[in-house]
Amino acid sequence: MRYHGCLVEWNDDRGFGFIQPDQGGARVFVHISAWQPRPQATSRPQVGLRLEFAVGMEGGKPRAQQVTGRPAVRPRAGGPQRTAGRVSCGARVSGGGSYVAILAFALVWVGTAMVWGVPRWVLPGYAVLSLVTFCAYWQDKRAAQAGLWRTSESTLHTLAALGGWPGAIVAQQWLRHKSRKADFRILFWLTVLANVAAFVGLHSPAGREWLARWTL
């Protein structure tokens, strides 16, 4: 499996550094010998470089393999300071907004319960699904670090859509997993909106009437 990430630390004298995977998780060790093809003396990796790589295990620790990317070209002495192929890693997404979403949902829950009522089993249902989703993220992160079979993103999104998204938010921020990958997070927040809309809609009079007809 191939991964994408950003070179966040590099020791050019010793020829090694660390990659931060886009999907989050622990940094991955990378040695200059893992590049394909190996960079020339005048073209060396620099912090900020976007990379594609595989992950293997050496000494029980993850290690980048078959690394591809465009190292920055060293400027000539006295020449203009320029780089080629250097891309900013970008700042980590703050978790504050994510936790606010949980608080906002709590307010929506209280309002819905006061107006239409919410069955008692719904709260433990969300709690169980959140725990299952958190465990799925945890397992996926461990698999990513060990280079093992990953939990599919569709599974993570399905669990979130069913009601496990609060646990997903906690996992993303606490485990630092899936907290940077833009396309994943866009789809994740769409599942959150869909779940909240379904929660409100199904507890409304029209929603209860529809459920009653559907369950008959």
In a domain, 83, yes or no: no
In a domain, 89, yes or no: no
- β-pairing verdict for 50-58 and 61-68: antiparallel
Number of domain units in the chain: 2
For 183-203, the pLDDT digits (tens) are 888 999 999 999 999 999 999
Q: Which of 119, 106, 105 is nearest to 203 (CA)?
A: 119
For 49-79, the pLDDT digits (tens) are 899 999 998 888 889 999 997 555 444 444 4
In a domain, 12, yes or no: yes
In a domain, 63, yes or no: yes
Average pLDDT over residues 195-212: 95
- Does 124 share its domain with 206? yes
Q: Contact at 8 Å (CB) between 95 and 172?
A: yes
Q: 181 Cβ partners below 8 Å, 6+ apart?
A: 22, 23, 24
Q: Containing domain of residue 147, as a range?
A: 96-215
